[in-house]
Each structure stands twice: as C-alpha cells, then as structure tokens.
Structure 1
Amino acid sequence: MPIAELTVVPLGTKETSLSKYVADCHQILKEQDKVEYQLTPMGTVLEGDLEDIFAITQKMHEVPFENGALRVTTSLKIDDRRDKKGSMKQKLDSVESKLK
C-alpha cells in the first residue's frame, strides 16, 4: 500500500506560526475514513490508495488559501512498493527491530 509524506506550507501569512493552518488541514483528514494518517512535527504521513492520497492532498492544499494565505507550497513524497505489502507501522517496526 502506498505511503506518502505530505507537507503543506502557507506563505504570505500575517503570522509566523503555522499551527492554525496545520490544524485546519487536519480537519480534512479527521472528516474522511479512506486514508490512515500520522501527524509528525514536520509533515503528515498518509497511507492508502494513491487516488485517495491525491484527492486528500488537493483538498489540504486548498485549505490555507481558504484561510487567507496568498501562496501555498505543497510537497508530496510517495513510497509505492509493490513487491510486498507494507504499512507505516511495518516500516517503523522494521527499523526498531534492527536497533535491538
């Protein structure tokens, strides 16, 4: 299953703090049930079908504009492994097992 890292950054805002924009973007995630997600300090990790990831990315990209941002940059990094099944948890567990 594809795993993606998404970062939406509003520019042209009146404040340097972006947490309100992040919270508003995360409302999109809370209101859907197709994609698993995990908020991190520097972005959001998504797990689901590519079509759903793209649709959610587009919705989240629009949120800062709706809240007054004059410019938005969005970065999406996709890990789409098809030789075996993977997940966010599996990737973390794999690293943890090698640390022991």
Structure 2
Amino acid sequence: MAIVEVTVIPLGTDSTSLSSFVAGCVKILQQSGVQYQLTPMGTIIEGELASLLELVRQMHEQPFLAGASRVTTTIRIDDRRDKTATMQSKVAAVENKLISAGGTE
C-alpha cells in the first residue's frame, strides 16, 4: 500500500481564495472511497499506487474544469512493500516512541 501526499495549486484564477478548488478535489476523493486526510497544506491519500496516481491526475484536472488557467501539482510517494503501512500506523509509530521515551505532549 502506498501513501501519497498531494498538493494541487490552481494559478490564474480570479481570486486568491483556493478553498472552492480544494473542495472540488476532495469531492473526487470522496467519490472514489479512498482513505484520505485533508491537511492545511495538502491532502494525504492511501491505497494501491496505480489507483492513487489516477486520482492525482483527476485532482490535477479539476481546477482546469473550474476555470483555472494553470495548475501546479506536487506529489510525494511513500511506497513501502516490506510491510503494510497506513497513515494511522505511521503516526502511531511516532506516538509510541514518544511514550516509550517518556515524552509527553
């Protein structure tokens, strides 16, 4: 299973606000049923790599459909094949190390 961080940035729009473009991209994820986590600076998705790359392509196209004249998309891929990793398991691993080291929030 792969974990992909994607940031889609529409350029050449009529406004500096991008939330409506982000909402259009998130709708694609909701319709796909893929696990995702929206963050203030991007979105993290998990699943089979080929499927995720197709979703990234659809997300990249969405701002064009909504009127943007240029789109920049950045992706980072964590494709671990020696064991199953999820968004939750990666966060839990760090939290467990904090607990075992005696650290707190």
* Fold agreement, TM-score > 0.5: yes
Aligned length: 99
Residue in 1 that maps onto 2:29: 29
CA shift for structure 1 position 98: 1.7
SS in 2 for 1:31: helix
Shift of 1:85: 1.3
- Percentage of pairs with the same residue: 55
1:69 and 1:4 map into 2 onto residues whose CA distance is: 24
Q: CA RMSD in A?
A: 0.8
User: Is 1:11 aligned with 2:33?
Assistant: no
TM-score normalised according to structure 2 size:
0.91
Which string of whole-angstrom CA distances, capped at 9 and with x for unpartnered residues, describes residues 36-78 of structure 1? 1110111000100011101101111011001110100001110
After TM superposition, list the pairs within 5 Å mapping 1:1-100 onto structure 2: 1-33=1-33, 35-100=34-99
Which blocks of at least 5 consecutive residues in structure 2 are unaligned? 100-105
SS in 1 for 2:71: strand
How many Å separate the matches in 1 of 2:97 and 2:11?
A: 40
1:50 and 1:66 mapped to 2: Cα distance? 24
> Where has structure 1 moved over 3 Å in runs of 4 or more?
none
User: SS in structure 2 opposite 1:86?
Assistant: coil
Q: Which of the pair has more CA radius of gyration?
A: 2
The CA distance in 1 between the partners of 2:4 and 2:89, in whole Å, is 14
Partner SS, residue 32 of structure 2? coil
